[in-house]
Amino acid sequence: MQRNFTWDGEKIAETIKEEKRKHTPKEILNHLDGLKNNINQIESSLEKNKEQKKQLESDLKQVKEIYKDLEKFEKDCEQIQVDKLKSIIADIQDESIKKAVEKSEETISKDPVAYSDNQKKQLPYLEYQKLIATNPKVQEKISNRIIKKYLYEEPVFENPF
């Protein structure tokens, strides 16, 4: 391939002279075989994707059916978990309050000027929430959804501080 550049007004024109290429019958046949293999691979891949799609649709249908069957128990299960959480909180409340006060005082004493008065007031409550949430009994018996909702978003206990 030969290239020539010439001025054409304000632009440079590029002229490409094409080369004449000759291919042997062997090269053509080899190239055709390679293209045929590519076609077969692509068609095979498309067929696999169709099968995967069918399998995914089947799996989705099955999961939705199981979800629908279990969903009717959700409200009662949540209530049982909330009641269990309240029971555990009642058992560990006194110890958690004491530890929360100690931890918050320890944290504040490390750098008292780093906290505003409001933060100092809130810290024991935040420690209390964390201690309840990380208590082994709570971790073992209460679902993450219940912990998140009923300890942080809509606490089932009053602020003891």
- The 10s digit of each residue's pLDDT in 16-56 is 888 788 889 999 999 999 999 999 999 999 999 999 999 99
β-bridge mates for residue 11, sequence order: 8
pLDDT band at 118 (very low <50, low <70, confident <90, very high): confident
73 burial (CB, 10 Å; 0-12 / 13-18 / 19+) is exposed
Cβ-based neighbour number of residue 100 at 10 Å: 22
- Mean pLDDT, the chain, whole residue set: 93
Give one word for 128, left, alpha or beta, with left for phi > 0 and alpha for psi -120 to 50.
alpha
Mean pLDDT of 109-119: 84
Can you give the residue ranges of every domain in the chain?
Answer: 1-71, 73-153
Tokens of 74: 């959700």
| Confidence (pTM) | 0.64
pLDDT band at 111 (very low <50, low <70, confident <90, very high): confident
What's the confidence (pLDDT) of residue 132?
95
Instruction: Give the whole-angstrom CA distance, residue 104 versus residue 81.
Output: 29
pLDDT digits (tens, 9 = 90+) for 93-103: 999 999 999 99
pLDDT band at 119 (very low <50, low <70, confident <90, very high): confident
pLDDT band at 135 (very low <50, low <70, confident <90, very high): very high
